[in-house]
Structure 1
Amino acid sequence: MRSMDVAERRARVAVRHRLAPGLRSDDVNDVVRSMVVLHATDPATVFLSVAARGRGIEPAHVEKALYEDRTLLRMLAMRRTMFIAPLELVPALQGSCADQLAAKQRRTYGRYLEQSGAVEGRIADWWREVEEETHAALLARGSATGAQLSKEVPRLRTQVNTAPDKPYAKPTNITTWVLVTLGCEGRIVRGRPNGSWSSSQYSWAPVESWLPQGIPALAAGEARVELVRAWLRTFGPAPLTDLKWWTGWTVAEVRKALAHLAIAEVDLDGVTGLVLADDLEPTAAPEPWAALLPALDPTPMGWQSRDWFLGPHAASLFDRSGNIGPSIWWDGRIVGGWAQRPDGEIAWRLLEDAGSAAKTAIAAEAARLGEWYGEVRPTPRFRTPLERELSA
C-alpha cells in the first residue's frame, strides 16, 4: 500500500485548492471548479473563498459569473447545505442530493399542514397546486421576491404554527416552504440579492434563466459516482468516513458509488485513505504560502478528520455546531484566526509560533483581503470564539 504522509496531503491542498500564490486563478469559474463547490450558507463565504484563491479578481467578477454570465448556480445539496456550483456539476448535485431533499421537504411540511388543520382535503394535492401556481407566477414575472409572489398567490400566505404547545410558538406563512421545495426540485433558483454581495435577501428566478432546458436528469446512482469522483480529485486521499460525512449519504450509498470507480487505497499514517487509482503521483510542494480563509471555507470543511491540518486549535476556531470561523493557514496547516473589525481592519492572531516569514506573508494577505472588502462589513453567520474576540 502506497503511503501518503501529512506533508504530501498539505502539498495537494496548496496545489489543488489554489492556495499557493503561484497557483491562484484570474477566472472565478476555475476557482469554483477546483473546489467542487463553494459553501454558500453565509453569502460572504462565496466571495471570500474566491478572494483567497483569486488573482486580480474583484467582487464584481463573482457577481458577474453568478448573475450575468450565470455559469454558477446557488442550490441546496449535501447535508441540506447551500452551495455555489458550476453548471456542469448541477445535474450530479440534483440527482445525488437535491431530489431527495425535495421529497423530504414535502413530507415535513405536509405533516405540519396536517397537524395545523389549515388545509381541507388531500394535502399532497393542495401542496402541488400551490407549487404550480407559484411556479407559473414566477415564470410570468421572470424574477420576484417571496413577498411579491405571496401577493400573487394568496395560498402562499397560509399560516401554520409548527410548535403550538411551545412558549416560542409563532404562526408563519408557507411562502418560504414552497419556494425552498421548488428550489430543491430544481425548478427555481435563488437570484441576485438585494443589497451588497454579503446580503442573503434573494430574489427567485425560474431555473430556465440559468439552464434553458432545465436541469438534465441524472439517475441517483450515476449522479453519486460523478460527485464522488470530483470530491476525490480535490480532497483525496481521505478516509471513507470523510467522504460519507461530506456527502451526507449512508455508508452503503458511498460504497456503491465507489464500486463504479477505479480506487486505490493508501496509508495515511496508519489510517486507510482512498484516492483515484490514476492519481497516485507525488505532488511537488510549492514555496511556503499563507492564506486567510473565511468562515465555512470549503477547504477546512472538506474533511471530517482534520487533525492533520487543524492541530489543537478547534476550540478557538469552531462553533458548537462544528462550523469553522475565519482561519489563517501557513504552508498547509492552520496556525491562527482573523476577523474584520467595524472600521474595516483585518485583525489576526497566531495560535502557534509560525516564524517571521509566516508573519510577513500573513500580513500581506491581510492587506490584500482588506482591499477586497472595500466598504462592505459582513458579520459571519456562525460566530466563533476567536472571531468574536478579534472583531470587538
Structure 2
Amino acid sequence: MGSRRYIGVAERRARLGLRQRLAGQARADTPEQVAESLVALHGTDPAAVYLAVGARLVNPATTVDDTGRALYGDRSLVRMHGMRHTVFVFPTALTAVVHASTGRTVAARERAALLRDMATAGAPGAAWLKEVEESTLAALARRGEATAAELAEDEPRLREQFVYAAGKSYEGVHTVSTRLLKVLGVEGKVVRGRPLGSWTSGQFRWAVAPGHAELDAAEAQAELLRRWLAACGPATEADLKWWTGWRVTDVRRALTAIGAESVELDEGVGHVTEGDSDPAPEPDEPWAALLPGLDPTAMGWQQRDWYLAPELRPALFDRSGNVGPTVWWNGRVVGGWAQRSDGEIVWRILDEEGVGREARAAIESEVERLTGWVGTTRVTPRFRTPLEKELTANQGPGAA
C-alpha cells in the first residue's frame, strides 16, 4: 500500500475540470469531441444530451444544429442502450464495444423475458416473434426511419397485445411493438432516430442500427473500461462496477487486461490507466458550469463525496437517485439551477464555502451562455428534484 501514489480531492477535481471539458481551456469545438471525451452521454432525457454538450462547447450557439447533425445527419453519434440498461449517446465508432461488453448479456435477458411473458399470456411463441422481427426490420430498412405506428402499417402483427403479470397488482397490457422494439434496441439491431418534435422531445422514430463487427466480450470490456478510466480516473472498484453494471469479476479482469495502476484515494484503493498516476495539471483559471439533470459528470461515479457534499443530495436528487440540474465551481457541486416557465434561468448556492464574488460572476456568465443558445425553448427535466421544483415555483429574482 505504501507504494501507491495518493491522489487527493484537489487533484481529482482538477482532472475532472480538464478531462470532462468543463474548464474554459478544455472546451470542445464539436459534439463529437464532447462525446469522445466523456465516453457516453446520458440519453434518457433527450434535452439533457444537448444541454450536456452545450455546457462544454467553445461556441454553444451551435449546440442544437451541430448535435442534431451528429445524431441524425452524419450519424457520428448514436443513441442506444448501454451500461445498466440505460439509454446513452455514444460515438458511433464505440457501438461495437458497448454492444459486446454490455449489450449482449442484457439483450439475452430481455428476449427471454419477452418470450416468457408472451408464453404466460398464451401469445404466439419464438417462431412467430422471429417472423414479426424480420418483417419489421425489413420495413424499417425500406422506410429509413419510422415510428412504431408507421411500422405497424407494414407489419400489423406489431399491434397485437398480451396481458402482462395477470392477477398481480401491476398487471398491464403490453403491445408487441413496444416490447419487441425495446429488445431489438438492446440487441443493437435498431437505434433511436429523429424525434417527432424539437430537440427536447422524448418521442423518437426508429432506424436500423449502423453495422459493426462482433467483438470478443472480454476484449470489449477492457476497451470500454480503458476509455472510461482515461476520462474519469481515478475511480474505485465500486465506481467501475456501478458505472458499467458488470460483475465484479468482469471489472477486475478488465483492470488486469489494461494494466491499470492502483492509487490511494480518500475512499481507499483507486485505479487509473497505465502511466496515468503522475501528478495532473490544474486548469489555467477557475471555472463554473451549469450542468443538466443526468449529466455524465454528475452521474459518473458511485462514490461522490469528493465533488458533492452529502448534505446537498436531498435537494439535488430525486428519490430514484437521478441527479437534477447542478451548479459547479472549480470541480465541485455548489448548488442547482432551473428554468422557469418564462424562460428565465434561476440558480441557488447550497454550499457557500469558497463561493465568493468571483464564483458568482462566473456562474452568472454561464447563465448568460445557456440563456443565449437555449433561446425561447423551455426545458423541464424528465426527473424533477426538490430544488428544481422549488426554484421554478418561486418567481423571485434569478439568483435565489
Task: Provide the TM-score with structure 2 as the length reference.
Answer: 0.94
How far apart are the structure 1 equivalents of 2:168 and 2:382?
26
* 1:382 has 2:379 as partner: no
Partner of 2:244: 247
* 1:61 has 2:66 as partner: yes
Q: How much has 1:84 moved relative to structure 2?
A: 0.4
Q: Which runs of 5+ in 1 are unaligned?
A: none
Runs (4+) of structure 1 moved beyond 6 Å? Answer: none
Tell me the amino acid that sits aligned with residue 206 of structure 2: W
Counterpart pick for 2:261 among 261, 264, 269: 264
How far apart are the structure 1 equivalents of 2:181 and 2:41?
22
- Bigger shift: 176-185 or 220-229? 176-185
Partner of 1:237: 234
Counterpart pick for 1:132 among 131, 134, 146: 134
Partner of 1:358: 359
Partner of 1:174: 176
Deviations 1:64-95 (A, max 9, x none): 11111110011001000000000121111010
Superposed counterparts of 1:106-121, under 5 Å: 106-119=111-124
Q: How much has 1:261 moved relative to structure 2?
A: 1.2
Q: How much has 1:169 moved relative to structure 2?
A: 3.6
Deviations 1:4-26 (A, max 9, x none): 00000000001000101121111
Distance 1:186 1:309, change over 3 A: same
Tell me the amino acid that sits aligned with residue 304 of structure 2: R
Partner of 2:146: 144
Q: How much has 1:269 moved relative to structure 2?
A: 2.3
Tell me the amino acid that sits aligned with residue 46 of structure 1: V
How far apart are the structure 2 equivalents of 1:343 and 1:179?
37
Partner of 1:163: 165
Counterpart pick for 1:291 among 282, 289, 292: 289
Q: How much has 1:281 moved relative to structure 2?
A: 2.2
Partner of 2:45: 42
Q: Which runs of 5+ in 2 are unaligned?
A: 394-400
How far apart are the structure 2 equivalents of 1:373 and 1:112?
43
Deviations 1:144-201 (A, max 9, x none): 1100111211211111121322456442311011111112222221111111101111
Deviations 1:104-162 (A, max 9, x none): 1111111110111122xxx2222212111111111122221100111211211111121
How far apart are the structure 2 equivalents of 1:28 and 1:141?
27
Q: How much has 1:348 moved relative to structure 2?
A: 0.2
Partner of 2:396: none
How far apart are the structure 2 equivalents of 1:39 and 1:69?
20
Partner of 2:398: none
Q: How much has 1:100 moved relative to structure 2?
A: 1.6
What's the Cα RMSD here?
A: 1.2
The question of whether the paired residues in 2 share the 8 Å contact of 1:186 and 1:215 is answered with no
* 1:87 has 2:89 as partner: no
**Equivalent position SS for 1:161:** strand
Counterpart pick for 1:203 among 194, 205, 226: 205
Tell me the amino acid that sits aligned with residue 376 of structure 2: E
How far apart are the structure 2 equivalents of 1:134 and 1:3?
54
Partner of 1:18: 21
How far apart are the structure 2 equivalents of 1:40 and 1:260?
29
The question of whether the paired residues in 2 share the 8 Å contact of 1:196 and 1:376 is answered with no
What fraction of aligned residue pairs are identical, expressed as a percent?
Answer: 51
- Equivalenced residues, count: 384
How far apart are the structure 2 equivalents of 1:176 and 1:60?
30
Partner of 2:36: 33
Tell me the amino acid that sits aligned with residue 186 of structure 1: G
Q: How much has 1:270 moved relative to structure 2?
A: 5.4
How far apart are the structure 2 equivalents of 1:283 and 1:142?
46
The question of whether the paired residues in 2 share the 8 Å contact of 1:310 and 1:333 is answered with yes
**Equivalent position SS for 1:377:** coil
How far apart are the structure 2 equivalents of 1:168 and 1:91?
36
Task: Provide the TM-score with structure 1 as the length reference.
Answer: 0.96
Q: How much has 1:379 moved relative to structure 2?
A: 1.5
How far apart are the structure 1 equivalents of 2:362 and 2:255?
40
Tell me the amino acid that sits aligned with residue 283 of structure 1: A
Tell me the amino acid that sits aligned with residue 362 of structure 1: I
How far apart are the structure 1 equivalents of 2:376 and 2:106?
37
How far apart are the structure 1 equivalents of 2:197 and 2:7?
46
